[in-house]
Amino acid sequence: MEEKMECDQNISVESISEADQKQLDAGALFVLKSKGSWLHCGYHLTTSIVAPGLLTLPFSLAKMGWGAGVAYLLVAAVVTFYSYNLISLVLEHHAQQGNRLLRFRDLARLVLGSFWGRYYIGPMQLILCLASVVGGILLAGITLKAMYLAEKPHGTMKLYEFIAFAGLFMLLLAQIPSFHSLRHLNLVSLILCLVYSACATASSIYIDFYFYNILKLILQATVAPPVKGKMFKGLCLCYVVVISTFFSVAIAGYWAFGNQAQSNILSNFFASDGSVLVPKSLYMMINFFCIVQIFAVSVVYLQPTNEVLEQLLADPKKHQYSPRNVIPRIISRSLVVAFSTLIAAMIPFFGDLTALIGAFAILPMDFMIPAVMYNITFGSSERKAIYWVNIVIITVFSGLTVLGCISSVRQIALDAKSYKLFANL
């Protein structure tokens, strides 16, 4: 949801007068500055949502089955799209009243009160974004190792070495100064997610047709204002990509591999003897595109942290690229990436912790908080149908949040015996 707020700001900031810009803190002035269009907003939103994690969707469908799995994807797509539009309506309402809000935590303080904004929304935002950066570096390292083993099946390099390489590259990308500076990288990210999703879908169908169908027969087995209009266009662009990638990979992967779908569909591209079932060049290309997009996603989720650091350490009265601002920027961002890389290398089972963070933070902030903010802002007197739809969403996802937290804690307890620092997974 922070990325959604950043995109709202991306579009509207260019309407700020010079006098108003002088009142902004360094985080808003340097990191959130933008001259972006609705297309740029679409690029940012797509990158923040569509990531290589979608390659795990066939595994999810294998656990849930066709009916529940497809229904869950549809509900998630509809509710998140709906929630993003609720936030746009709330932002527009407060902007018309003269309260121009640039950050999600600022909106939370105004609507929910300073306690919730400062002690829940703000911290959860930063924890979630940092967890995404750690997870991105870890996933990049795992993908690099997979490419290495595809070329050298008996190679001796350890996972933490690949994580270190990923961290070094992330260190360079972290110095990109502002959110708007990412627009070209995020366009590339959008294109690549379409390409590797199409490749993964085609590969699943190829393997099922040329390999698994044979085995089945033999074995008999299975921007500028107004913000609202442009945000809606950006969301539409984003969700065209979301639906085309998520559904194609999930359905093709589960159709091809059934209950044998693994946690990453690319793992199904290997035979039991370690050979690749698709052309190796195609497999390597998919992984390379995934790595590029992983870095793009990680840099997007690093921006809220950069904005906080800039707000604390930079001087808005000095030029953005003056030594007074550049030196603290490089040092602080480098320390954040170094810390994230260390955590990724030390705890390669970070996925269990990420699941807990996601249940405690993502579900409330993406599904519940927008509905709560809308109902508080407009009350029950206006648009009563929307008000009660929001009540249902809040109730259902409150229950899912509790169940998700319990499930995540249980999984951590079950996996605790196998935890080992700097494990070579």
Q: Band the pLDDT of 16: cuts 50, 70, 90.
A: very low
pLDDT of res. 301: 85
pLDDT tier for residue 26 given thresholds of 50, 70 and 90? low
Residue 357, token pair as written in the block: 């963070």
DSSP states of 250-268: HHHHHHHHGGG--SSGGGG
Which range has the worst mean pLDDT, 144-153, 154-163, 178-187?
178-187
pTM: 0.81
The predicted pLDDT at position 390 comes to: 92
* End-to-end CA separation in angstroms for the chain: 32
* Residue whose entry in the numeric block shows the structure tokens 């698709």: 278
**Residue 347: strand, helix, or coil:** coil
Q: Which of 86, 29, 109, 21 is nearest to 372 (CA)?
A: 86
State the average pLDDT over residues 115-133.
85
Q: d(Cα 152, Cα 130) in Å, to the nearest integer? A: 33
Mean pLDDT in residue range 121-150: 87
Average pLDDT over residues 75-91: 84
Task: For residue 373, give the nearest of 105, 5, 77, 107 by alpha carbon.
Answer: 107
Whether the Cβ atoms of residue 86 and residue 97 lie closer than 8 Å to each other: no
pLDDT bracket for residue 35 (50, 70, 90): low
Domains of the chain with CATH codes: 2-418 (1.10.4160)
Confidence of residue 290 (pLDDT cuts 50, 70, 90): confident
The torsion of the CA quartet 98, 102, 103, 107, rounded to 10 degrees, works out to 10
- As a whole number of angstroms, the distance between CA 52 and CA 290 comes to 6
Q: What is the pLDDT of residue 319?
A: 83
Q: Please, what is the average pLDDT of the chain? A: 78
The residue written with tokens 């070094």 in the block is 168
| pLDDT tens digits, 301-359 | 888 888 888 888 888 888 878 888 889 999 999 999 999 999 988 887 766 777 777 77
